[in-house]
Amino acid sequence: MASNSIKLLAPDVHRSLAELVAKRLGLRLTDADLKRDPTGEVSFSIGESVRDQDIYIIMQIGSGVVNDRVLELLIMINACKTASARRITAVIPNFPYARQDRKDKSRAPITAKLMADMLTTAGCDHVITMDLHASQIQGFFDIPVDNLYAEPSVVRYIKENVNWKEAAIISPDAGGAKRAATLADRLDLNFALIHKERARANEVSRMVLVGDVTNKICIIVDDMADTCGTLGKAAEVLLDHGAKSVIAIVTHGVLSGKAIENINNSKLDKVVCTNTVPFEEKMKSCSKLDVVDVSSVLAESIRRLHNGESISYLFKHYPL
């Protein structure tokens, strides 16, 4: 793989992350052109030869137009494949349909598995993603998947921006306990858990706090923030239990539906998201949002993957 070079591809919208990665790697984004006709059909052309190159397609999948992005990604991968690229890596920090990962009721689709199959079918050779909702999704693939962690970036953010010695790490649900616990261990902080009972998807009925948060700055840690209803309620529970202030740090700030409204009305001081999901526009309408840049992690993993070096360093450390 040494003789061929990296080519970075990104769709025409939401290029911000790809541009940051490209800048970090000292490369430019390959000229490519995506066209959509009025019904949404996508056609794609690459502006230069990709024969025998190492292709990285960086795709930010935000809320609302998931299916468009997915089809665009598949078509881009397939185009590179038919253009004789040597290896195609899909860089999808926010893996779509990650929550549809099990047959939770009769005849429910396991769409995450379908996504995995479709990526493989399109010709993808490798996937880089970040903080998968369930890391078992890696097992859905027949190709290697590198699941990066936002944790080192988050640790750095906390150390730089929060009076972290007085903080406590909170997991908003039992499923995220492990993620929060590792972060708490890493920072040597207290850990608390909110147990919630879900009546329906995106709706929360009752919350119980397990642990002590009196006079602490509470940092709620989660992998995904969708409508932010949970976060808002969690903040109230924490403040009721004597917390000094509450901030939330989430990896994928999908922030769909009434998210902005919910955040503005909530008692959260700050909601910090990584830039895996494009939310620049939302930041304008919500002063409580803040961003953690993970482009350096992605860039470094691309560099390492291209050179055949180990990636596991990035699981624990923030690249310099």
Minimum Å gap between C-beta 32 and another protein is: 8
Minimum Å gap between C-beta 288 and another protein is: 19
- Residue 281 binds another protein, judged by CB under 8 A: no
Q: Which among 13-21, 118-126, 143-151, 214-222 is the span making contact with another protein, rule CB under 8 A?
A: 118-126
* Nearby residues of 224 by Cβ (< 8 Å), 6 or more positions away: 98, 99, 133, 250, 251, 252, 254
Q: Judging by DSSP bridges, how do beta strands 190-198 and 245-253 pair with one another?
A: unpaired
Q: Judging by DSSP bridges, how do beta strands 32-36 and 42-46 pair with one another?
A: antiparallel
- Residue 134 binds another protein, judged by CB under 8 A: no
- Residue 139 binds another protein, judged by CB under 8 A: no
CB nearer to another protein: pick between 119 and 302 = 119
Asked if residue 1 lies in contact with residue 308, where contact means CB atoms within 8 angstroms, the answer is yes
CB nearer to another protein: pick between 16 and 78 = 78
- Residue 47 binds another protein, judged by CB under 8 A: yes
Q: Which among 61-69, 130-138, 190-198, 289-297 is the span making contact with another protein, rule CB under 8 A?
A: 61-69
- Residue 257 binds another protein, judged by CB under 8 A: yes
Minimum Å gap between C-beta 320 and another protein is: 28
- Residue 4 binds another protein, judged by CB under 8 A: no
Of 19, 15, 35, nearest to 27 (Cα)? 19
CB nearer to another protein: pick between 40 and 144 = 40
Phi, psi of 140 (to 5 degrees): -75, -20
Q: Which of 121, 135, 205, 285 binds another protein (CB under 8 A)?
A: 121
- Residue 254 binds another protein, judged by CB under 8 A: yes
In the stretch 70-109, what mask flags binding to another protein with x, by CB under 8 A?
xx--xxx-xx--xx------------xx-xx--x-xxxxx
* Binding-site ranges for another protein (CB under 8 A): 12, 28, 31, 33, 35, 37-49, 62-68, 70-71, 74-76, 78-79, 82-83, 96-97, 99-100, 103, 105-111, 113-114, 117-118, 120-122, 201-202, 226-227, 254, 256-257
